[in-house]
Structure 1
């Protein structure tokens, strides 16, 4: 696992410190998009500012992406190895109203928009909400 993590960091030009390896390992263990609080709960031996700085670095180096699913907490997900977070790679996300987890829908791409020439897109957020089909459907 550590060789895989080291290779992922190397491919994004990120120096593999022990804390960065720990944070990425925790991120890869999530089966859903995670929050800063999820990481803090998972990595109790790593201080909050280190986790926050690592998230910022990983986003800057396009190792992870973030989105707002309307739950009040920014969600993060590890990008595919080929992803450069360009506008044509943006995809939809799904938020389960019952288990409160969010997932990437990599196969649903954000459509192109015909905007006025002086308008520049800096981001698009498409979140589909409903029942994920995996949880008990009991609202918490």
Structure 2
């Protein structure tokens, strides 16, 4: 699916920045940090515009956040999300060799029972090791 079609299907206006950022994510096999995205888009888009684009994509269920081992945030496309429901409780994997952070969509985060009075708002599970390309 092309970026414009995806934007239209999520009721978003097609802008140059949105198209460029979405194309990067559509063509990437790994999660990308905002700084990585900024380096690859047209330099006429400033940091704030890229940030707002990513925030809009998060709000509309197009992308989800991936936390890496250094406390940074990366972004990856959602497969089964919508504006009112994010379903991305899957494992993320960071390769210690090449540095890529990948979504392992088919591996769900195990159920976790917290003590009474605690409520889960978000779950993240990052596994580190060597990816299949580096093994």
Distance 1:117 1:12 in 2: 38
C-alpha displacement of 1:83? 2.3
Q: Which residue of structure 1 lines up, in the alignment, with residue 17 of structure 2?
A: 19
* Residues 62 and 78, structure 2, Cα contact 8 Å, conserved in 1: yes
- Counting only pairs closer than 5 Å after superposition, residues 26-37 of structure 1 correspond to structure 2 as 26-37=24-35
TM-score (norm 1): 0.83
- Give 2:66's aligned residue: 67
> What 5-or-longer segments of structure 2 have no aligned partner?
none
**Separation in 2, partners of 1:122, 1:7:** 31
Instruction: State the partner residue of 2:120.
Output: 121
Aligned to 2:52: 53
RMSD over aligned Cα atoms: 1.9
Cα drift, residue 39 of structure 1:
0.4
Superposition TM-score, scaled by structure 2 size: 0.86
Aligned to 1:57, the other structure's residue is in SS state: helix
Deviations 1:8-31 (A, max 9, x none): 112222221222112111221222
Residue from 27, 41, 50 that aligns with 2:39: 41
DSSP-derived class of the 2:53 partner:
helix
